[in-house]
Amino acid sequence: MSELGAMLQKAREERGLSLNDIQETTKIRKRYLEAIESGDHTVLPGSFYVRAFVKNYAEAVGLDPDEVLRLYQHEMPAPPVEASVDPLPVRAPRRVKSQSSERLGKIGFNVVMWSFLILIVVVVYVFFINREDKEPEQVDQTTPITENSAPPTATSNTGGDNASPEAPTPSPTPTQAATTVTYGTRSGTVDQYDIGPAGTHKLEIKVSGGRNWVEVRKGSRSGEKLFYANAEDGEVLPFDLTQPLYINVGRADLSIITVDGVLVPDGDRAGSKKLLLTPAQPVEETNAESTEQPAQ
């Protein structure tokens, strides 16, 4: 038995441990532990395992493994000499090729990006050019074209009998005066309005906002009925205003009364409104009535 094996065995026995206990602790096979105690290192798989097994054995029995290896270094087999390995030469050309490929990749990426931006600019430019070219065509199409041509103007000839007579100048068409709605008087609950000028006017009663009661009569509130019912929302009631018309609406805020498009004030409140619209009479009829003499 070697000195190292005897020392390890003594430390194990002092702690009351068996080889099975050491095997359980260190996970080293029992026959290897027996070989270490007997000094037969040939049983162990190699010189590296001898030092490792001894170190684990010493730790298991409470000894300092480094101190044990130092004291019994002479019993340890020498570690195998590692064969020197020559370093592989660096392949410089391959590295240069990698850098060149990376540089070419960056250049290609920049070229693609600039090409894409230039393509976008060209597309936008072509789009606006085509748009500007098409706009005059659209303007020309909307220009009204007429087939009627103006007659040639007659040239004046001062000499000879061949002078053509001058065309008569057409008299200007008289313009119709604007419709006026003038408040007159109030008789009881009825507001009277004078409508001018003389002639036929267009009266419209539009119901807006809900169903509304509408009454229209000739002359007065006891005259002939022209309309006497509920009018639906959005309904427009037209009448020819050639004589006085009496109007009664259930709610003034739901009715819009106009004469030739001119609004007639109705108070615009949630209550009934009564109106009497009297159109102006022609001047000829007024003069004829005033000059008429009773028969002798």
Q: How far is the C-alpha of 202 from the C-alpha of 257, rounded, in Å?
A: 11
104 occurs within a structural domain = no
45, 75, 105 - which closes a domain: 75
- The pLDDT value recorded for residue 177 is 81
92 occurs within a structural domain = no
Handedness of CA 28, 31, 36, 40 (dihedral sign): negative
Phi, psi of 247 (to 5 degrees): -125, 135
- 10-residue averages of pLDDT along the chain (296 residues): 78 86 87 80 75 84 81 67 53 56 83 92 90 56 51 48 57 74 90 89 92 92 93 94 92 92 87 90 61 48
Q: How far is the C-alpha of 163 from the C-alpha of 43, rounded, in Å?
A: 154
Residue among 236, 234, 230, 235 at smallest CA distance from 251: 230
- The pLDDT value recorded for residue 289 is 53
- The pLDDT value recorded for residue 40 is 74
CB within 8 Å of 213: residues ≥ 6 apart: 229, 230, 231, 248, 249, 250, 251
238 occurs within a structural domain = yes
Number of folded domains that form the chain: 2
Q: Report the predicted TM-score, pTM, of the whole model to 2 decimal places.
A: 0.40
294 occurs within a structural domain = no
Domain, as residue range, for 43? 3-75
17 occurs within a structural domain = yes
- The pLDDT value recorded for residue 57 is 81
Virtual torsion, Cα 279, 285, 290, 293, nearest 10 deg: -140
19 occurs within a structural domain = yes
20, 42, 75 - which closes a domain: 75
CB within 8 Å of 227: residues ≥ 6 apart: 214, 215, 216, 237, 239
137 occurs within a structural domain = no
CATH of the domain at 29: 1.10.260.40
